[in-house]
Every structure is written in structure tokens, then in C-alpha cells.
Structure 1
Amino acid sequence: MTKTIGLLVMAYGTPYKESDIEPYYTDIRHGKQPSDAELQDLKDRYQFIGGLSPLAGTTNRQAEALRDALNEAYDEVQFKLYIGLKHISPFIEDAVQSMHEDGIDEAVTVVLAPHYSSFSVGSYNTRAQQEADKYGIQFKHVAHYYQQPKFIQYWTEKINETLTKIPHEEHDETVLVVSAHSLPKGLIEKNNDPYPNELHHTAQLLEEQSDIIHVAEGWQSEGNTGTPWLGPDVQDLTKSLYETYGYKHFIYTPVGFVCEHLEVLFDNDYECKVVCDELGVNYYRPSMPNTDPLFIGAIVDEVKNVY
């Protein structure tokens, strides 16, 4: 007999239409409304990448692909999908409530972020758990999956594909910039958070398994809080790498993200490319995992570790 359990896939969320931008931004700022200038800056960024982020549609496709892959991988368990978002409807709490209404008493949770930090994955899981506790739903949480062989294989293949576009004799003048979303340094230190080490481990695995010679680690998309965040920022890193080593080719792999969205399409494809253009060097950014079977397979393999 097949048992039905919940699959709660959690992600950051993004505005669905322009009128969503202000309430979405206000939620990110813990209820504090952005100034007109701050709001306009965000609207301009969305406009630059085509009006709105493709994140909403990609999140749905990733979640559905994961559900389908899990249902193929398990014989006696049927996974029923629920999507919960951090900053816009359907919120995480709404998804857990829907589970309860459907009679689900057991579920696996996955955040669409490969590395664990208490600030990101930990906060999603806490919100989900607090809501689940009201209904007695038992959760198994996936903490991370960056270390899964299929995840590393995905990025290794993308790096090697990109290297084929660069003359072989210039591979020694090429650098891989491995990055993730920056977080406040104080929070990382206070919680003894594994996040920076997990990014470092990712960079090591990619250096070992791909054909790249030079690797650097950076951070991107830091918030404007007036407090120190993890660095160096990828733009500053690009300049310092060029000044120190004179690299001609820069390959950016924002491995802390799992699809094309604002942080990648603007912070990498625009801001980092501007720096590369100013320096007269070549900018490369392989495609993101999205619904690639290797990426989805990496999460399936991690789910098998917890359930």
C-alpha cells in the first residue's frame, strides 16, 4: 500500500506583477516600508532584466520536477507537493496549513538553496516547523545538498564546457569565481555558521574535479544594513584578481543560487560584466541548474539520506 507524505519545497519568492514589488520589499525589510528611492531602484533592476524575475515560474518547475523524480525513486511512498515562499504568497505557513487540511501527517522539507546557513535554510525550516507543530505534522528537513556528487558534477560539466570556448593556451590566464549570496558577518560568527565553509568546500570540489586551474571565492548581492557582510564582493574580487594576476578570462559560477533570477541576471550578468568590460577581460557565466536532471537528482539523493 502506498503512503502519501508531504513534500514542502521552500524558496525565497518573487513579485508576480509590478504591484507586488512594494509589499514584497516591505516583507523582506521585516515590515518597514522602503523609501521611494529604494523602491524605484528595485523596480529599475527588474526592468533591466525584462520587467520581472523569472524566479516564480522556475521555482514551480523545479518543485514539480523534484516531486516527479522522488515519486519515481520511491516505490511505497507517494510525495504530494506543497510550495511555501519566504516573502510572498503562498507563504511557508500557508503551505503547512494546506498540508494539515489535506490530512498529511508526515513530510520532507527542501529549501531551494544548496548550502546551509541558519539565516537562510535554518530560518525556512524554523518557520515550517513552528507551523507544523501546531498540527502535529512530523518533518524531516534536508539541510543542504551542495556536497552531493550530482550537484558537483553539474557544475563541473558546465565549467568544462565553458573552458572549451577559451583557447587552451589561455587556460592558465583564466579564473573561476565561485560565489554565493553574502550574509551579515555578525550572524555567521554568532551562530558559528557552516555557510562560509560549505562554499569553500564547493570551490575545492570544483577545483579538484573540473579542468579549471585557478579558483577564487567571493560573495554577492549583500544587503544594505550598514553592518559588515561576508566578502570580498565579486566585483571587488574581479578587480583585485585582475590587478594581482592579470587574468584574461573570468568564469562566474554563482553556486549558492539554483536558477536564473535577479541576483544572477543583474548582479552577475550586468554588474560583474561591467567590471570585466572596464578591465578589458572576458566574462562567462554558465547556465544555472534550473530543472537539470543532475541538479534534481542531487536533491533526491539527499532526501534519501533523511527519509
Structure 2
Amino acid sequence: MTANDQTLVPFASPAAAGGAPFVETPVAYDALILASFGGPEGQDDVIPFLRNVTRGRGIPDERLEEVAHHYRHFGGVSPINEQNRRLKAALEAEIAARGLDLPVYWGNRNWEPYLPDAFTQAADDGHSTLLVLATSAYSSYSSDRQYREDIAAAITDAGLEERVTADKVRLFFDHPGFVKPFQEGVEDAVRALLADGIAAEDIRVLFSTHSIPTGDAERSGPRDVDWGEGGAYAAQHLAVAEHIMHELVAVTGGSTVPWQLVFQSRSGPASQPWLEPDINDVISTLPETGAKAVVIVPLGFVSDHMEVLWDLDTEAMETAAEAGIRAVRTPTPGTHPAFVSGLVDLIIERIEGTPAAERPHLTDLGPWYDVSRPGDCENARLGFRPAAAGLVP
């Protein structure tokens, strides 16, 4: 398939090109592309990296430097590239243990190694039927559609339209492998607080994720569903949090632990509405509610990104200390065995064409689609740019 073909799903394998929401036909994928955000690996990389992240917005370097201090605090090194190296190695080991012949290539949106280079290397190595796994679990422009745009751009930028097809693993926000590490973290944290004599009603669990503009949130997910405030992006997080807290009852002996969804890492202008409440604003008011401890759950992140290290481990912890309450931050999935195994399950799901009715999911929102629906996660500022793994536009 080429970019000029009149197919419903650009660049897709024949099994996915027809646009059905679930691909229930086996596909002989011959390589996996691990797609991620990327991050700087030294002080000299920070501003060029941030220019890449904000390309097209005309933001001067002076403004970028206001964000750069987060990276400079950690020596100019984002943890994300090393985390992806570890995830790639873990995936390769699990894939080999399952007896699959599926080489793994890795490419980023905003820093080396770049996604077009990963596609080129895979094609030069003789692979033509590619499956892409993005390190993002939820619906939004930057975490879903932009990755699909990245895939399309990588193929066209590398001139691979006649050489490869590319499908994408479904969003995995409610897959058991993704949820289990968070579940364990919450249960361990609450169990420890209870053992220290803090009552369940005096604990607060805050599920934190990246704030995004409310307009982008409202456009996340298929348009034919009323997702409520915050769109599919908020609905997915809330559904997973509700599942985790429902399971927590077994730890508390039936006692209820109050919880809510909060947001972090806002970066837009004050005039633009973003999802709220901010985690620091919530933490600062917890003493007024009688809370004595807070469990911070980085539910929106697959690993300890810079936003976790700075916004949670630094700023949120400082806010909790100022409020005089105990704070615990639970782990991200990272390379947790259940997460790695779950990702390979998702890969095999596409290789075997597993029927949707047999696909594991822990909320009523899943399993999510293999092929994104029309208009899903539109960026109103940029419009509909070419995107793989979804129906046009």
C-alpha cells in the first residue's frame, strides 16, 4: 500500500486497511517498532530537544529555558531514553522466551534515535510488515493521534511508501499488565500506612496524569460517544482508578479510602483552559479535610518520566511537606514483569488476530480499538494531518 492508494486506513496491512475497529485476522508481522517521546541526554541537548517538542509554535529560547531548568536540575538528562533501552531489552527477552521471531527497533518523536531512522533500519534489514508499539496508554492528541502521525511521517520521510506497511498496538490503559503495577503500588502504600496506625479515612489517594487543554480532552476518543467532561482521556483514567480502588477494599477490610483524579505538568498559557485540579492545589488543601497521608499514583505514565521526577517527586512532595502530611509516590510500570508480559500479549493479539470478545480488559471502556475511528483525537490547531492506524481523517 502507498500513501496514494484510496484506502480507508493509510499505510496499513491488508488485514487492517478496511477500517474495522478490531483486526481479527492474523498478520505475519516481521518486526516491532517501539515508538516513544524521546528526551535529552546532556545539557547541550536540552534546548534543541525542547525546540523539537514545541516545533511550529514559535516559542523563543528564552521561554524554553523556563522549562529547561527541570532537565538541568538532573544534569540535562531525561530518564526516558534509558527507560526505553531497558524496556526494549525486556521486550526482546520476553519475545524470545515466547518463541517469536520478531526483532525490535526503537525510534522517538523528539530526540535520537528518531522514528524515521528506526523505520529505515527495519526496512533495510528486510522487514516490510511492521507493528508499532507506542509507550502511551491513553487517548489524547499527543498520546495517540500524534504517534499515528509520527508513523505516517516516518514512512513518507524515509521514502518507504512502497516498502512497508505499519499497524499500531491498541491503547492499553485498562489492560491487566498495565494496571497491575499500579494496583500493587496502591495496595502496598495503603497497607504500610494502615500498619503505621493511619486510618483508611485519613488517607487520600490521588491519581495523577498530565494535564492537557480542555479542548483537546473533549476531542479525545471517538466522536460518536458522549464521554462527559474531559472526554475519553479523563474517562479512561477515571475508569482505571475506579477499578484499582474497588480492588483496594480487600486490603482495607471494607473501609473506604477517599480518592480523586488530579492533573500535573500544565504548560500552556494562563488564558487557555486546561484540565484541573492541579495536584499541588489539591495537596495543599488536604489538611482541611482531616487527611494525614496522601498516596500519589502516577497513573498517566508508563515509566518515571521527567514529569514524574520533577512534578511529583520534587514539587508535589514539597507541597505535602509544607502541608504537614505524609506522602508516598507509587511506582510506574517501567519494566515490571506483568507490564512487559502484557505488552507482548498485546503484540501476539495482533499477530494471531484475537477476536475482540477474547481480549483482556479491566474496565467497561475496553478493549480499545486497533484502528482509530474518524476524527479521533483531533488537534484543532493543526487540523487533520496524515496519520497511520486509523480511518481518514
TM-score by length of 2: 0.71
Q: Larger relative CO (CA 8 A, sep 6+): 1 or 2?
A: 2
1:205-262 per-position Cα deviation (integer Å, ceiling 9, x unaligned) = 111112362221011112224411111111122234443x221111111111122231
Residues 79-158 of structure 1 aligned to structure 2 (within 5 Å) = 79-132=102-155, 134-158=161-185
Instruction: Check whether the contact 2:41–2:76 (CA below 8 A) recurs between aligned residues.
Output: no
Q: Which protein is richer in strand relative to its size?
A: 1
Structure 2 CA distance for aligned equivalents of residues 107 and 10 of structure 1: 12
Amino acid at match of 1:180: T
1:296 aligns with 2:323: no
- RMSD over aligned Cα atoms: 2.2
1:227 to 266, 269, 272: 272
Structure 1 CA distance for aligned equivalents of residues 261 and 298 of structure 2: 10
Q: Once structures 1 and 2 are overlaid, which stretch shifts more, 259-268 or 39-48?
A: 39-48
Structure 2 CA distance for aligned equivalents of residues 234 and 14 of structure 1: 24
Match of 2:357 in 1: none
Residues 192-231 of structure 1 aligned to structure 2 (within 5 Å) = 192=223, 193-210=231-248, 211=251, 213-225=257-269, 226-231=271-276
Q: Once structures 1 and 2 are overlaid, which stretch shifts more, 182-191 or 266-275?
A: 182-191
Structure 2 CA distance for aligned equivalents of residues 116 and 32 of structure 1: 22
Match of 1:30 in 2: 55
Instruction: Check whether the contact 1:109–1:125 (CA below 8 A) recurs between aligned residues.
Output: no
Structure 2 CA distance for aligned equivalents of residues 119 and 169 of structure 1: 39
Structure 2 CA distance for aligned equivalents of residues 116 and 302 of structure 1: 17
Structure 2 CA distance for aligned equivalents of residues 91 and 224 of structure 1: 26
Amino acid at match of 1:215: W
Q: Residues 34 and 234 from structure 1, CA distance in 2 versus in 1: closer, same or farther, beyond 3 angstroms? A: same
2:216 to 180, 183, 187: 187
Q: Residues 35 and 140 from structure 1, CA distance in 2 versus in 1: closer, same or farther, beyond 3 angstroms? A: closer
Match of 1:9 in 2: 34
TM-score by length of 1: 0.90
Instruction: Check whether the contact 2:293–2:326 (CA below 8 A) recurs between aligned residues.
Output: yes
Structure 2 CA distance for aligned equivalents of residues 154 and 4 of structure 1: 28
Structure 1 CA distance for aligned equivalents of residues 167 and 57 of structure 2: 33
Instruction: Check whether the contact 2:140–2:216 (CA below 8 A) recurs between aligned residues.
Output: no
1:107-152 per-position Cα deviation (integer Å, ceiling 9, x unaligned) = 2111112223233222112221344461442223112112112322
Q: Secondary structure at the match of 1:194?
A: helix
Q: Residues 123 and 291 from structure 1, CA distance in 2 versus in 1: closer, same or farther, beyond 3 angstroms? A: same
Structure 2 CA distance for aligned equivalents of residues 126 and 44 of structure 1: 29
Match of 1:44 in 2: 69
1:21 aligns with 2:46: yes
Match of 2:92 in 1: 67
Structure 2 CA distance for aligned equivalents of residues 111 and 256 of structure 1: 14
Q: Secondary structure at the match of 1:78?
A: coil
Structure 2 CA distance for aligned equivalents of residues 152 and 100 of structure 1: 34
Q: Once structures 1 and 2 are overlaid, which stretch shifts more, 130-139 or 210-219?
A: 130-139
Q: Residues 35 and 302 from structure 1, CA distance in 2 versus in 1: closer, same or farther, beyond 3 angstroms? A: same
Q: Residues 53 and 130 from structure 1, CA distance in 2 versus in 1: closer, same or farther, beyond 3 angstroms? A: closer
Q: CA deviation at 1:264?
A: 0.6
Percent of residue pairs identical = 23
Q: CA deviation at 1:53?
A: 2.1
Instruction: Check whether the contact 2:294–2:325 (CA below 8 A) recurs between aligned residues.
Output: yes
